[in-house]
Amino acid sequence: MAHQYQHIKFHYQNGVGHIVLNRPDTLNSFTQVMHDDLKAALSFLESREDLRGVIITGTGRGFCAGQDLSERKPLPSGQKRDLGEGIDKNYRSLVLRLRALPAPVVSVVNGVAAGAGASVALACDIVFAVKSAKFIQAFSKIGLLPDAGATYVWPRMVGMQRSMGAALFATPVSAETAEQWGLIWRCIPDDELESTIASVHDHLAHGATRAFAATKQALYASGDNSLEDQINVERDLQRELGHTDDYLEGMIAFGEKRAPRFTGR
């Protein structure tokens, strides 16, 4: 029986999966139902041999406000809640599965991204954000630390001082500042949200899929490798790409001075 999505919208077209967080009345905050929806969507995407990319965005005026705190109300009689359980059950697999997909995952942030919502957006391979969007590490306001991979991603992308400031003071980082810092790829005008999603879809659906996947793999491997080790990674992946249909098509198209027609094989 096909999964019935309740808190996300999901469709798949031309090898590109579109995930739309869909709880606009709560700024698309995470619930267990939403996590279950996301797990089902990721299982579908992981099963597709024709996968060429994924786009994640939100409905309404927010991308995602993080965890829905109404699902974490204080327990009776002074009992303590195990917040690590939620990370193990949901956020760990969500972030790691997005990272492991053999195709680019692009988040198009349509509004505020706070807490775990910011973490998930920034865990994607490429991030676009509308000018009115903000990234907020709001955890300190409720006595917690950034999670869902935030303490891994932020220092690597923007350095320790900016990461500390954003986390300890919970200061919103505008999309324009995020672009200047290198936290996101591009800040776009608000009225270009839909056209950007369409453009990204077209690029992923018709691009050199195997090359995209190899690029993603190599770039993420570089953080733990020496220069020599990284060159070896490039060599091995380049060897594989040299046997693909897309490489042959790319070379023929270059010689014929036309746009290549990549098939993802």
Q: Other C-beta atoms within 10 Å of 211: how many? A: 18
* CA 143 – CA 193 distance, rounded (Å): 34
CB 207 within 8 Å of CB 237 = no
Q: What local confidence, expressed as pLDDT, does residue 1 receive? A: 57
The CATH H-level superfamily of 8-205 is 2-enoyl-CoA Hydratase; Chain A, domain 1 (3.90.226.10)
Q: What share of the chain is helix, strand, coil (3-state, %, to 5)?
A: 55, 15, 30
Q: What is the tens place of the pLDDT at every residue in 221-240?
A: 999 999 999 999 999 999 99
Q: What local confidence, expressed as pLDDT, does residue 148 receive? A: 95
DSSP assignment letter at 30: B
Q: What local confidence, expressed as pLDDT, does residue 69 receive? A: 80
CB 210 within 8 Å of CB 239 = no
Q: What is the tens place of the pLDDT at every residue in 49-65?
A: 999 999 999 999 999 99
DSSP assignment letter at 59: S
> CATH top-level class for 208-255?
mainly alpha
Q: Other C-beta atoms within 10 Å of 228: how many? A: 7
Segments making up each domain of the chain, as ranges: 8-205, 208-255
Residues of the chain with pLDDT under 70: 1
Q: What is the tens place of the pLDDT at every residue in 182-207?
A: 999 999 999 999 999 999 999 999 99
